[in-house]
Amino acid sequence: MRVLVFDFSGHPFQAQLSRELGRRGHDVTHAWCDAYVSGHGRLEAGPGETVRFEPVSVGRTIAKTSYLRRSLQELRLGVDLVRFVRRARPDVVLVSTTPVPMLVMLAATLWLRRTPWVLWHQDVQAVAVARLAGTKLSPIFGALARALEWGERWGSRRAAAIVVITEAFRSVHEKWGTADKVTVIPNWAPLDEISPRPRDNDWAVTQGLDEEQTLLYSGTLGLKHDPELLVELAAAVRAQGTPVRLVVVNEGPAVPVVRAAAARLSVPLSLLPFQPYADLPDVLASGDLLVVLLEQDAGEFSVPSKTLSYLAAGRPVLGLMPPENLAAGLVLDAGGFIAPPLRSSLGPAALWADQVLRDPARLAQLGAESRLLAEKEFALEGCADQFESILDSVLPTSVLPFRRGRARPFALSGK
């Protein structure tokens, strides 16, 4: 089976799935959008790996803060993706975290080429924009949300199968008439790539973080987050008497907001760009407490993947996020702290953080519980079995792959 996995964001666990499918004998190409600046996973083949890693839209940029410009740019990125698919000529495509304009263009192309594809639905983008319209966004974005919903619905109806990351998505697909194609497979973190490291590792020493306690946030900061809340949390912990440093690993429009808030509140700040993926375990290990932010309006249809990486790294987690969020449940199961993303939550959150930071034994225990939970929840084998079965099920009868030692007829274009 010749598989194209396109993950717009270049996240770690999607790349791990591609590697596993390649290990199982499939001909896999893993692609991502090079124009999107974010923390990426390991996007190159290692020794003995057969997966091809290829970026799309190299040399282009995305205007993250201008939604009109960004929408136009996403159409250009969609053209790049369509051209890439035509060259790759896959038997089946798995699509993840892809903006709606690109998704619509890709769905139309695959329909014309009679190529089956699977939507790996990570965010309901229309719902997120609709909820932010009139608050963080102008009310005019309500019209954009309706257009996005049309595009997501249109694409979903043309997908041969749909994978969602939480049961909350099912109600949306029931509304769209696509619930019969839905399978729920929760996200995970690659346990073999993100593992516990010593607190005072070489990266921490290089950054000067080995001699003071830290609150660390690593990942995107966008409309689903309140960057100032992060700084105010650090200030509240310091007010409890624990002299923590705030470490933020991020690039984008939130950077000046965080810098200004830290200066105003006299919070010591280490503001760093996204780090190489190979350093991520050491980066996360340098945080005594790892922080997750997620706005209330984004909570039902978004599962922040950074939370899963935090747990895999074996660190205690503090989340200012909707308690009903799937990731919030995992944090609580690991003994971490969860409160709504409100300023009224800062007092209880700071009190919990202060108590934990003053107790090295409890810090170590919570870290161990995080890793144990990750090892229990993030088993790749079962997830890969489900994805492989779904991809097999949508293939046309003329392209039946060799799978798990069972010989079947196959097309000349696939394995």
Which pTM does this prediction carry?
A: 0.88
Q: How far apart are CA 218 and CA 201, in angstroms?
A: 17
Tens-digit pLDDT profile for the chain (415 aa)?
899 999 999 999 999 999 999 999 999 999 999 998 888 899 999 999 999 999 999 999 887 666 667 778 889 999 999 999 999 999 999 999 999 999 999 999 999 999 999 999 998 776 665 555 445 555 565 666 788 889 999 999 999 999 999 898 999 999 999 999 999 999 999 999 999 999 999 999 999 999 999 999 998 886 557 899 999 999 999 999 999 999 999 988 889 999 999 999 999 999 999 999 999 999 999 999 999 998 876 656 678 889 999 999 999 999 999 998 889 999 999 999 999 999 999 999 999 999 999 999 999 999 999 999 999 999 899 999 999 999 999 997 656 554 444 333 333 333 3
* pLDDT confidence of residue 285: 98
Residue 54 in contact with residue 29, Cβ under 8 Å? yes
**Most distant pair of Cα atoms in the chain: their distance:** 69
Q: How far is the C-alpha of 43 from the C-alpha of 388, rounded, in Å?
A: 21
**180: its two tokens:** 């019969």
Residue with tokens 């769209």: 176
Q: How many CB atoms lie within 10 A of CB 402?
A: 16
CA distances (Å), origin 178, targets 59, 169, 405: 36, 11, 33
pLDDT of residue 301: 65
Amino acid identity at 281: P
Q: Which of 371, 302, 292, 300 minimizes the C-alpha distance to 335?
A: 371
pLDDT of 298: 62
Six-digit token pair at 230? 């992060």
> Could you tell me which residues come within 8 angstroms of residue 302 by beta carbon, excluding any fewer than 6 positions away?
123, 128, 224, 294, 325
What the chain holds in terms of domains, given with CATH numbers, is 2-188+379-394 (3.40.50.2000), 202-376 (3.40.50.2000)
Residue 112: burial class (beta carbons within 10 Å; 0-12, 13-18, 19+)? exposed
Give the pLDDT confidence score for residue 109 in this predicted structure: 96
Distance, in Å, from the CA atom of 94 to the CA atom of 48, rounded to the nearest integer, reads 23
Count of beta carbons in the 10 Å neighbourhood of residue 239: 13
Taking the alpha carbons at both ends of the chain, their separation in whole angstroms is 5
